[in-house]
Amino acid sequence: MDSLTPNRLAVLGSPIKHSRSPLLHRAAYRQLDLDWSYDAVEVKSGSLAMFLSKVGPEWRGLSLTMPLKQEVLPFIDDCDRVAQLTGSVNTVLLRKVNGRGTLSGYNTDVAGLVRALAEGDITRATHVTLLGAGATAASALVAAAELGAEFVTVLARDPQKAQPLIELGRSLGVVVDLQGFGGSTPVDSDVVISTLPGGTVLPAPLPLALRKRAVLFDVAYSPWPSGVATSWQVAGGSVLDGLGMLLHQALIQVRVFVTADPFEPLPDEAAVLAAMRGALTRDTGPHDAVER
């Protein structure tokens, strides 16, 4: 990064062909009058090290989706607090520190989820239920803590594999209860956050009383409606899709790439967000991949 101004960015993952991240980021950089490129690059699990070895001085940053958010950790020089908590990095800033190239890792999923929930008028919750226990579930648990949740129920196909969420909950001051699908699911949750792929079919329907009472936030957005969302709609419950999270986590990524600080607002940030939202709204074609 000595001789060139770094202006190249991309989202990496697999599958990645139908990612909407390029639409969002390109709209932001046009609004900011920055001549930066942003592409989608297919990088499968096990191939990230090879990709990083070829990154040149023109690169400014990377967005990461499945399956790379944890695979990248050994290559990161420093992480923000949220990435450390969740063990998940979805944003990498390439820069020079003391003459040496470094990779700084961030997690913008938590902020994206909290901001998307706020747009749905959800700013507080005492009891949250999480569906799924993958990498996104850790971010959802931190988001639940930021909403003030005291109790989080996690429903997973294999509760044993979800044990790290109990320790994460303790570090956040949240009591985490792990259960399998089909068990005695509590119905007093304020919010249910599904981190399951859109095409997932649950082994048993969730209680009708829960679907009527709690708002469902489904991080999926394609195919839509997801199976979980459909079950909520049939019960007459309230549903929010994952496009809001995608939008807002991307805005925080743009902050990182432009200012090197996820908490530093962009110049005329309201206009940048409006441009990104507009690009997402205009994009009405089919999308088969869900970014996580």
Look-up: residue for tokens 């699990």? 45
159 near 178, Cβ under 8 Å?
yes
C-alpha–C-alpha distance, residues 104 and 92, integer Å: 6
Tokens coding 86: 């969740």
Query: Among residues 69, 96, 161, 212, which one is catalytic?
Result: 69
C-alpha–C-alpha distance, residues 158 and 182, integer Å: 12
Tokens coding 275: 């441009």
C-alpha–C-alpha distance, residues 151 and 234, integer Å: 27
CA distances from 212 to 89, 189, 232 (A): 34, 11, 7
C-alpha–C-alpha distance, residues 134 and 268, integer Å: 36
Find, among 106, 100, 176, the residue nearest to 137 by Cα: 176
Query: Can 69 be counted among the known catalytic residues?
Result: yes
* Residues designated catalytic: 69
